[in-house]
Amino acid sequence: MSERVIPLVDQRHTGFRTPAAALSTDQLIQPNGLLTDTLGRPLSDLRISVTDRCNFRCSYCMPKEIFDKDYAYLPQSALLSFEEITRVAKVFVAHGVKKLRLTGGEPLLRKNLEVLIGQLSALRTVDGQPLDITLTTNGSLLARKAHALKAAGLKRVTVSLDGLDDEVFRRMNDVDFPVRDVLEGIAAAREAGLGPIKVNMVVKRGTNEHEILPMARHFRGTGTVLRFIEYMDVGATNGWRMDEVMPSAEVVQHIQSELPLVQLEPSAPGETAERWGYADANGHHDPALGEIGVISSVTQAFCRDCNRARLSTEGKLFLCLFAENGYDLRSLIRQPPEGQDGDALLASAIGHIWQGRGDRYSELRATLSPDTGTGGRRVEMSYIGG
C-alpha cells in the first residue's frame, strides 16, 4: 500500500502555531483499551464541548469586552452533529475512556442536548460497563432541564457558582443573572437524582474571597461537594494576574478557622481536586457533613496524573487545558481519504496524538515567560470547557 500522510492541524484560531503533526496510514494504531502518553498517563477521560456560546459573561472566562454582540461564534454547520460526537466518543471509549463530560460554553444552550446524552449513554466501556456521563453547567437552565437530562442517561452535574451574595454573583456573571435561579437549578438536579452534585467556585482575590465561608456553610451537610478553584491563566482574554490568585492552602486555612477539616484520600486516579472532609467533635471525618475539594492548578500542579483529553465543539482535539494547538479530527470524520476506513483512521489518529503527548504546562509555568506562558496564544476556556 502506498503511503498517505494525513495532516492534523488547528484552523479555528488564527495566529496559533500549528503543530507539524502527520500520520502515515501504514502505521495504523488499533485501539486495545489502554492508551498511554510519553509520561505513561492513560487516556480515560474525554471532555466534549458542545457549544462555544454562553449566556454569562464571567470576567475570567468570557469577558463582555471581548465576547460582545459582534463576536463571531462558530456557524452551526461547523459544529459536530450529535451523531458525529457519538461516533468520536465511541472511538475514544475503545481506547479506554470511561468518563465523558459535556461542557461548553454553556452546554444547556445546545438544542435537544438530551438526544446526545441518550446516544452516549448507549455506549459501553471496553469491559462492558456503562460510561460515567457528566455535565458542567452554569445552572441557569438547569431547573427546567434536570429531569429530562436524567431520563436521557446523564449521571451527574457540576454547577459553576462563584458566590451566594446576589450582588457579587450578578457582578461576576456580568449579565445581572440572580443567584436564586442557580440555587433552584441545583435543587432540581438533586430532586432528579443527578448526584452527587458538585459546585465549583472560582476564587479571585479582591473579588469574591469573602464568599468562601458563606458557600461552605451553605453546602455543608447537603450532600453537595463544594470545590474551590484557583483563578487560572487560561486563554488570553481574562487579563490573568498572579496577584489575583488565592492559593488553595489559604482557602483551606480560611475554612478551618470556623469549620474543622480533615484531609481525605483521592477517590480516583488522576483526580484534580484535593479532598477535605468536615470533621466531627473528635476530629474525624463525618460523612454526614460532607466534604470540600480544592483545585490548585496554579500553586500545586497535578499534571503527572492528568488523564483528560478535550474535544472542541467543531472537532478539534486538545491535550491540555492550557494548549496552544489542537488537532483537526473533523476532517477525518467528514472527509476520510477515498477507499479508507474512516473510523480506523480516526482511532489511529487519536492513538498517535496521545502517544506523543507530553503536555505539563502547570508544572512548567514558573519557568515560562510571564507574558506569554507557553510562548503563544493559548486556547480559550470558553472554547474547550474547563
pLDDT at 8 (0 to 100): 47
| Contact present, 226 and 216 (Cβ < 8 Å) | yes
The identity of residue 194, as a single letter, is: L
pLDDT at 22 (0 to 100): 42
Domain topology for 5-384 = TIM Barrel (3.20.20)
Q: What are phi and psi of 143, to 5 degrees?
A: -60, -40
Kindly report whether the peptide bond that precedes residue 326 is cis, defined as omega within 30 degrees of 0.
no
pLDDT at 378 (0 to 100): 54
Q: What is the total residue count of the chain?
A: 386
Element (H, E) at 230: strand 225-230
Mean pLDDT by runs of 10 across the 386 residues of the chain is 41 38 65 95 96 90 88 94 98 98 96 98 97 97 98 97 93 93 98 96 91 97 95 57 86 96 86 92 96 86 84 93 84 86 92 90 60 51 61
pLDDT at 18 (0 to 100): 34
pLDDT at 377 (0 to 100): 56
pTM: 0.87
Q: How many C-beta atoms lie closer than 10 Å to residue 56's C-beta?
A: 20
| Contact present, 58 and 119 (Cβ < 8 Å) | no
Domain ranges in the chain are 5-384
Strands 261-263 and 274-278: antiparallel
